[in-house]
Chains A and B, each alone.
Chain A
Amino acid sequence: MNLVDLSWRNMKRNFRLYTIYFISMFVGVVIYFTFSGLMFNKDVVAAIQNKENYKMVISLASVIVFLFIVFFILYANSFFMKQRKKEFGMYLLYGMKERQVAAMVFFETLFLSAISVFSGILIGGLLSKFFGAVLMNLMRYNEDISFAFPLEAIVSTVLLFALLIIIITIQSYFNVRRVQLVELFHAKEKRDKPFTFSFGLALLSIILIAGSYYMITIGDTDIWKDHFKETLAAVTVALIAGTYLFFRQFSGWMLQKLSQRKNYFIGSKMLWISSLRFSIRGNTVNFTFNSLISAIVIFTVGFIAVDYAVKGEVVKKEFPNHIAFSTQDDATQRQIEQLMNDSHPIIDHETITGIQTEKIQNRNAFFSHPEYYTEEFYLFPESQLNAIVDLRKAGEKADLEGEEAIVLTRGIDEPEKYKSSQPEMTVLEDNTFRVVEKIRYPLLSIPTSPGGNTQPQPSVLIISNEAFENLREHHTLSSFEIYQIEDPKTSNDVSREIYDLVMKTEGAYYSAYIDMYSIDTESSSLILFSVAFFAVIALFALGSVIYFKQLREATEEREHYAILRKIGVDDKEMKKIIRKQLLFVFLPPLLLGLLHSWFLLYYTVILVIKDLPSLTAIIFSVMGLYVLTYLIFYISSVSIYYKIVSEKNTR
């Protein structure tokens, strides 16, 4: 019998144990392949405006996904290695070399990986259609995504998993080397007494958790506004401490209470309750960590979703002009209007005319971030501003006299009214204006290009009509065409064509809402999409920590169940005990994790994004998958736990 043969036999014999290993590997491949499949999917790439950015984000995301998978699989593998310590010990005892045992493990991993990579790619390819569609939907593109198995994605998946096999084999080799033959003959350690628990601390945990929830619900009150940092720190500490005490004291106290009840002695309650009481010490940190991190992971998805939702609004505010550009000659102008009307009919059109100044020093007086604005100012008369206010039906009209002026800023600048000490600005050699007010109003937005490049926003000074009249005779005028069009969110192609026409003139101004919108939506969609993926993997990995710990405990409990069998407990009853015991292991961290994330999300996120059903859908799917993961782990661990404890004790 050679090593390959032995490996094959091992796998057949330990089928159920290998199933979980296989599933983790399979899930890893599916997720990784879905990601790299999206990176090379021709339909998706065709729809994306900023292709460089897309490839970068997706490849970064797949690296993170891969790292997750490496961690997860190594964790799973170390569980198997420990589980099979005895078996390895026997091989070594019978004279097999460590290298041979490692080689055997290598063959097993190879078999398993081959199957999971093959089936994972198959499923991943099928899923990439679905996930591609989700991504397109987030980016608001109407691109049909077909099933795809891009060769590049297949090659990179196979290569990375080959790398993973090598890592696993190295880990296994070290694990095998660490097997001490002596351990084969060691009895297992004895347990102590269970802890006693304090009612006070149990109560405190509930007070701390409830208190932090309450603080979150009153998030819009003064205490948060006035003492944000202190309140945040207090709530965080209370939540962590409360969760820890919940698992350590409250659950212990509750089990202790249960064990003091009269009916404790009836049926199998005694068995699972006492068993849980003994496991509290080992589980507290694990559970606390689990529910807190799970809550944070879910909250992060929500947070990113808000970012996605808000960004769309910000772009709308900062780019009120659907398309704006420096006025062209008549022929070009007609050509451009024709282009627009062909696909996105013009709703409104206005021409504004101003005077460009020389470079102005010391713009700090007007802008808190001057680097975002051009050094030259554009002077516009109040009448032009008022016309645009009429056109957009948004903003306030200005009424200026003499040398009064208004500076226009964007979102990053706070609006300000200057009462006394109004800053002065001297332009065009000797014309001085007094700035009476700074308002947030994008008359001319940031210059954009369909490729995604942007330039500093034109600085704009609104002056009185008479001042402008005085200046206009002696200076060159610059005019801009401002258009509102129908359905601007799909105007990518039009924008590109107009941009090419306008940019034939060196230094022309061009700005389109859609350019910024595409870039922003694409990048925030990508981030949201990737984060949702990470979240699912992270929740899966977190759940698996509890899962593997239970299975490891099953090995230790084997003797326990052997005794039960001897005193006449039948299989059905044993399964019932295991089901109950594991339910109380998986349920509390899940419930607390859900509750934490719900309170964090509802008051900060859900209320903000409730008008965007696709975002709430994403958050709820992540939460749903969280529950599903635990459900799968629970069902699977019950079955494997039973299998492990009913194995004949080989000792």
Chain B
Amino acid sequence: MTKMIQTKNLSKSYGKTQVLKNIDLTVERGEFTAIMGPSGSGKTTLMNTLSTIDAFSGGNVWIEGNSLLDMKKKALREFRQKRMGFIFQDYNLLDTLTVKENILLPLSLQKTPVAEMEKRLAKLIDALNIESILHQYPSEISGGQKQRTAAARAIITSPAIVFADEPTGALDSRSATQLLEQIQLLNETFKTTVLMITHDPYAASYCQRVVFLRDGKIVNEMFKGEQTEKEFFDRILTIQSAIGSDWR
């Protein structure tokens, strides 16, 4: 079985500044991985290159065994639409659409039959606890509900991998915990691979694996294994302070 993501000597420069330096990273199928790093460490750039939003300057990336270098622009876009889901810090919900419409939007754009849409939505409703807000507009719901809507939108296409960019960044701690638990649940139930960027050790402690990035290089990596979230959280904190620098 092929790896979900595999990079070899992945590098990216903006002009003379090298943001990513020869990164070798492998993400297994079904893994829930966090990428942590201080600001400027290149974590967002890493995610953008992995998610095909941004081009890279050297090395190569394979997703499900497909080399990104060999894919045309159109194929990349289709791949992104069908095989990837995204959750952003600022939700990125369309405020003219209801919660339900927002969630179904990716399927709409792919012209999925309505019956199929409803079937997929039904599966998510319980897991994300969004039944009561389905017909409301984003302006009427809380931040946590918005982010759950965004998570549902990310996952409704049954993507192979979900990229989450600081998903808890704008949430209070209760909503953040709730969301993390739900992502965990989605990861377990639907076997969805999740790659999450965060600077928050608490959010990272819900992952099975944490990769530390600094100055465009992977500097450390740790697995949760059988540890509880609390134990894992403490270990992450230790490493974080060892790496130092400005954690935002």
Chain A residues proximal to chain B, CB less than 8 Å: 190-194, 262-263, 265-271, 274-275, 277-278, 560, 562-564, 566-570, 573
Contact = CB atoms under 8 A, between A and B. Distances in A.
B236 to A, nearest CB: 29
22 contacts: A190-B139, A191-B137, A193-B139, A194-B96, A265-B114, A266-B108, A266-B113, A266-B114, A267-B108, A267-B111, A270-B97, A270-B101, A270-B105, A270-B108, A271-B96, A271-B97, A274-B96, A275-B96, A278-B96, A560-B96, A562-B92, A567-B86
Given A192-B139, A568-B81, A563 B94 contact: yes
A563 B139 contact: no
A271 B139 contact: no
Given A265-B108, A568-B80, A568-B106, A563 B137 contact: no
A193 B106 contact: no
B101 A274 contact: yes
B97 A274 contact: yes
A265 B139 contact: no
B4 interface: no
Nearest to A189: B139
A566 B86 contact: yes
Nearest to B91: A563
A267 B117 contact: no
A563 B96 CA distance: 12
A567 B92 contact: yes
A262 B108 CA distance: 12
Contact of A567 (B95, B112, B137, B153): B153
B109 A569 contact: yes
Given A194-B96, A269-B108, 11 more contacts: A262-B114, A265-B107, A266-B111, A268-B108, A271-B94, A271-B97, A274-B97, A274-B101, A560-B96, A567-B92, A568-B80
B96 A265 contact: no
A191 B139 contact: yes
B77 A568 contact: yes
A409 to B, nearest CB: 69
Given A190-B95, A191-B95, A277-B96, A265 B106 contact: no
Interface string B51-88: 00100000000000000000000000100110000101
B140 interface: yes
Nearest to B79: A568
A570 B80 CA distance: 11
B34 interface: no
A571 to B, nearest CB: 10
Interface of B: 53, 77, 80-81, 86, 88, 92-97, 101, 104-109, 111-114, 117, 137, 139-140, 153
A630 B53 CA distance: 38
Closest 8 A/B residue pairs (Cβ): A568-B81, A274-B96, A563-B92, A190-B139, A278-B96, A191-B95, A265-B108, A275-B96
Central interface residue in A269, A270, A560, A566, by most chain B CB within 10 Å? A270
B105 A567 contact: yes
A569 B77 CA distance: 9
Nearest to B154: A567
A582 B192 CA distance: 39
Given A265-B108, A267-B109, A191 B92 contact: no
B92 A566 contact: yes
Contacts of A191: 95-96, 137, 139
A322 to B, nearest CB: 71
Contacts of B108: 265-270
Contacts of B153: 567
A319 to B, nearest CB: 67
A257 to B, nearest CB: 16
Given A193-B137, A568-B109, A563 B93 contact: yes
A271 B153 CA distance: 15
Contacts of B112: 266
A564 B93 CA distance: 9
Contacts of B111: 266-267
A271 B95 CA distance: 11
A563 B117 CA distance: 21
A263 B107 CA distance: 12
Contacts of A275: 96
A109 B188 CA distance: 63
Contacts of B80: 568
A190 B114 CA distance: 30
Nearest to B117: A265
A267 B107 CA distance: 8
A517 B105 CA distance: 69
B174 to A, nearest CB: 23
B79 to A, nearest CB: 10
Nearest to A262: B114
Nearest to B80: A568
Contacts of A563: 92-94
Nearest to B118: A265
A265 B104 contact: yes
B188 to A, nearest CB: 25
A567 B157 CA distance: 11
B135 to A, nearest CB: 10
A567 B106 CA distance: 7
Given A265-B117, A267-B108, A270-B101, A193 B94 contact: no
